[in-house]
Structure 1
């Protein structure tokens, strides 16, 4: 008579559990250390711009209220809350990338995608264009293509890893989106060269 739980089924369950744990670790783990990490060099400037916009809005609202004689503590609190809300909306995500990974950090959370195991790269058009990266572990990151245009080292890191994903046959779609970003970066680089050389 066979026991209720056979050794074969127990081993199978353990292997499946280990695979799930490994996939979860790959998605949730922080970015691995790397000697060459590319970062958004304009992020601090964008944060300062967000602070300035929120401060200008607050100053204007307080000035208008004071000018018409309706300024009070509750109204000042409301205007301050609106300024904070504007700052939160404008706060830029901080993008950094190393060999095989890319991280997008917001105020509340960070998202990591394995760029050497990409499944798809899609370009979402709308009010603000977004580049959506997905990996084989189910992780998903959205970034602004302008970050890649303004930071060539970030783009080179992503491009190299995307090519590796294509060689591994994990990247099923995304060549068109990457080609569009590449063309945009080449165009911006050419314009910069013309400006510096005075040919524009």
Structure 2
């Protein structure tokens, strides 16, 4: 796939564009996080049904209510699926997939809120929020993003967020060094 195969429509439609074939990096912990979310939802459902049955109040409407509550917990806990390739990064949630052109980044920033998020924006209006821990835990994703971001800095398109990327790179380097020291027994 060449670069011209990656087309994003400006504005809100950019989030509906499909990533091209050729995923080179993805979140390796996603499947485990998904299994954890399913186990939590099933455990909650089982506990609620058991308590209701023990109390003698279990009926079809209550069972549907508990099933709906467990489904809601599952929807909240299911992590987004992060994938990347040459010139793009996608974040697929339960409802839709958002794509950002990493070869055309214009800004990278930390989002304010309860959990840290890295917000990436491209020239076509694409916007993706990524948990920085996903990048820290998956070096291939980080290297894919870092390579494209460095190219954007050289071209002058990425003007906002160079410091953020440097801070994230430092965090990843510290973790990598700590892992190497731990494995080699030097820590």
Same fold (TM > 0.5): yes
Structure-1-length-normalised TM-score: 0.82
In the alignment, what sits opposite 1:67?
Answer: 54
Equivalent of residue 130 in structure 2, options 143, 158, 161: 143
Unaligned residue ranges in structure 2 (runs of 5+): 1-6
In the alignment, what sits opposite 1:24?
Answer: 9
Mean CA deviation greater in 171-180 or 79-88? 171-180
1 CA distance for matches of 2:161 and 2:85?
20
In the alignment, what sits opposite 1:112?
Answer: 99
2 CA distance for matches of 1:172 and 1:106?
28
Greater Rg over alpha carbons, structure: 1
In the alignment, what sits opposite 2:4?
Answer: none
1 CA distance for matches of 2:79 and 2:155?
33
Deviating runs (4+, > 6 A) in structure 1?
none
When residues 157 and 63 of structure 1 are mapped into structure 2, their CA distance, relative to the original with a 3 A threshold, is same
Instruction: Give the secondary structure class of the aligned counterpart of 1:24.
Output: coil
1 CA distance for matches of 2:163 and 2:30?
27
1 CA distance for matches of 2:143 and 2:8?
26
Instruction: Give the secondary structure class of the aligned counterpart of 2:124.
Output: coil
How far residue 33 of structure 1 moved from its aligned partner, in angstroms, is 2.9
Unaligned residue ranges in structure 1 (runs of 5+): 1-21
| Larger RCO: 1 or 2 (CA < 8 Å, sep 6+) | 2
In the alignment, what sits opposite 2:139?
Answer: 152
Instruction: Give the secondary structure class of the aligned counterpart of 1:123.
Output: strand
1 CA distance for matches of 2:152 and 2:32?
33
Q: Alignment length, in residue pairs?
A: 178
1 CA distance for matches of 2:178 and 2:63?
46
Conservation of the 8 A alpha-carbon contact between 2:89 and 2:99: yes
RMSD after superposition: 1.8
Instruction: Give the secondary structure class of the aligned counterpart of 2:83.
Output: strand
2 CA distance for matches of 1:58 and 1:195?
40
2 CA distance for matches of 1:187 and 1:41?
20
Structure-2-length-normalised TM-score: 0.88
In the alignment, what sits opposite 1:12?
Answer: none
For residues 116-143 of structure 1, give each alpha carbon's deviation from its aligned partner in whole angstroms, at most 9, with x where no partner exists: 1101001114221111000011110111
When residues 192 and 75 of structure 1 are mapped into structure 2, their CA distance, relative to the original with a 3 A threshold, is same
Matched, 1:85 2:85: no
Conservation of the 8 A alpha-carbon contact between 2:17 and 2:98: no
Matched, 1:54 2:41: yes
